[in-house]
Chains A and B, each alone.
Chain A
Amino acid sequence: MTRQDIVERLKDILLSADDKNREAVEACTEASNLATDLGFSSISMLYMVIAIEESFGIRFEDVGMADFQTLGDVIDYIESKLV
């Protein structure tokens, strides 16, 4: 799975959680900040983690908001779990 594939799947997850955020999600890049650019709350973080686990078949270790600043951080983590 390429990085771009991961980005596309992530966008799909973010849109399912938060369709109103469509503009921000579609425009997002790896540098997008989860809190300031995508407006993540503790609940949307939890949603994203659970949806990624379901969708990619991976397991997150104990993680919190502080562990991921940008979408790129999340992709790095997913990649590290997929290898």
Chain B
Amino acid sequence: MIFETRELFRKYTDDATFARIKEYDTVGEMWALCAAEYADTPAIEDDGRVFTYAQLEDDVAHFRTSLAAAGVKAGTRVGLLSPNSYEFVKAFLAITTLGATAVILPAQLDAGTVFGCSMKFGLSALVAHPALWDNTAVAAARRPDLPILSAADTAKDATAAVPCDKTTPCVIMFTGGTTGQSKGALLSNGAVMQGTVNGCYGTKDVFGQRYLLVLPLSHVFGLIRNLMTSLYTGSTLFICRNNKDMFRDIAMFRPTIMVMVPALAEMALTLSKKFGRNMLGDDLKVIICGAAAAPPYLVKEYDKIGVALLQGYGLTESANLVSGNPESLQKPTSVGIPYPHQEFRIEDGELWIKGANMLEDYVGEPESAYEDGWFKTGDLVRMDDEGYLYITGRIKEIIVLANGENVSPAEVETHFNALPFVQDSQVFEAVNDEGSHFLALEIVPRATEAGGMTKEQMIAELEAVNATLPPYQRVNRIVVRDTDFERTPAMKIKRYKLEG
């Protein structure tokens, strides 16, 4: 099935706004138009500095001169090692508008890994933020041929952008899955632009927004759903340098839209209750939640304070979100309807995708991302009659029981997560002293709902839910945890793995 779903999103905004959502082939084409149209609008606020679209374009043009002097030209690959900062934005736009490919190196990489990436991805130059300069030391010592530029550099003269087309490689980003090894996914200009435009669908207010960035720009939702969609829509992006300052930054900047993981959205809600005021500010209208399932409880609580919490589903490989849910109150467990120009296939429950937003391929990996032209997501999904998508689990997380039954932990967890006092849950395979395998459940209670309940009361309610499940899905042990689950740097829950 091919999805040309653009028209489905029309009703969520006015006609004039919808007509402005146009598609572009390249970052350079989009940026040239935005820099001209929104010249005097603030584009980026970072570290006390405000840069308009015109100033950003001016700095980008001068940085293209520095890059060109270092031998960067169309078709070359340039490493970008920078924390979230104005300098990241400037360097990213300069690299991509020269027709080169930006290889985004996450800021936490050590010096040895930075050097390793310079070899693996065949970098012909490396741009580093002054704050991370020490991490270029190994590359500098072992690759004397590699020009290393400071992202804070500025050349005297400007250099014009180099036109390219939608097939031109744009960016290599690391996949940061909760399972498996991280890989470099190559996204073309066309894919990045499709991902950027997809970020415009499903909300009432699209252009001239105020984004507050808390996700890393080395993450696809940081780079594309925050930065690129913000630039595309003539919005202002405030870069929160340190998450602990998030609420101070919010009070000052008053964002209208934020993209965050559900755990942060939940934390903001708990803090708001504790201190008796909306910590996310009165101007916030939309929270886009990705990377993990947001519980229906959160959607409802945010609705009470006039904030639409919209879930989406996406991968690094899909250059931002594959689907978005504009009807989160009616369908709080859905990740939404597919964005345009994609083809979906559901094989044995697994979602396969083709589309304008999909990666070219992995870089430097022995195996292709595609099989017979399809990207297999590894995610188990179902789609309802109205075309809304629901994630039911991940293939790699499937537990095969001794009797051959396949159990998707995520699917079983949704039943327990429906209890208001369950904040997070994890169903996993455990082994007893006799070596028998069985299904176990651990939950982290939600403080605000579990206040008056004893563990025994919680377990009784969980047992009641357990009894309604098909026998093969029932868990044999229930533990109410005193502490949170271990989490990845992106704050996703680390799944338990059976040893051996």
Contacts and interface: CB of A to CB of B under 8 A. Distances in A.
A5 interface: no
Interface stretch (B60-68, B69-77, B149-157, B481-489): B481-489
A23 B444 CA distance: 15
B42 to A, nearest CB: 26
A24 interface: yes
Interface in A2-37: 13, 15-21, 23-24
Contacts of A40: 483-484
A18 B447 contact: yes
Contacts of A46: 243-244, 267
A1 interface: no
Interface string B459-483: 0000000000000000000001111
B270 A17 contact: yes
Given A41-B486, A63-B244, A19 B450 contact: yes
Interface residues of B, number: 29
A62 B264 CA distance: 19
A51 B271 contact: yes
Interface in B261-299: 263-264, 267, 270-271, 273-275
B438 interface: no
A38 B484 CA distance: 10
A43 B264 CA distance: 7
Given A43-B484, A47-B270, A20 B450 contact: yes
Contact of A41 (B243, B264, B274, B487): B487
B447 A19 contact: yes
A25 B429 CA distance: 30
B180 interface: no
Contacts of B247: 50, 54
Interface in B205-244: 242-244
A43 B244 contact: no
B56 to A, nearest CB: 27
A20 B480 CA distance: 9
Contacts of B447: 15-20
B491 A24 contact: no
Contact of B487 (A21, A24, A43): A43
Interface string A46-83: 11011101100000101100000000000000000000
Nearest to B247: A50
B243 A24 contact: no
A36 to B, nearest CB: 9
Given A16-B447, A46-B243, A21 B482 contact: yes
Given A20-B447, A21-B482, A47 B491 contact: no
Nearest to A43: B263
Contacts of B273: 16
A19 B246 CA distance: 24
B417 to A, nearest CB: 16
Nearest to B423: A20
Nearest to A20: B445
B144 interface: no
B451 interface: yes
A68 to B, nearest CB: 13
Contacts of A47: 267, 270-271
A21 B483 contact: yes
Contacts of A24: 482
Given A16-B270, A19-B448, A46-B267, 9 more contacts: A13-B274, A20-B481, A21-B483, A23-B482, A24-B482, A41-B485, A49-B244, A60-B244, A63-B244
Interface of B: 242-244, 246-247, 263-264, 267, 270-271, 273-275, 444-445, 447-448, 450-451, 480-487, 489, 491
13 contacts: A17-B270, A17-B274, A17-B447, A20-B445, A20-B480, A23-B482, A39-B483, A41-B483, A41-B487, A43-B264, A47-B271, A50-B271, A53-B244
5 shortest A-B CB distances, which residue pairs?
A39-B483, A19-B447, A41-B484, A20-B445, A16-B274
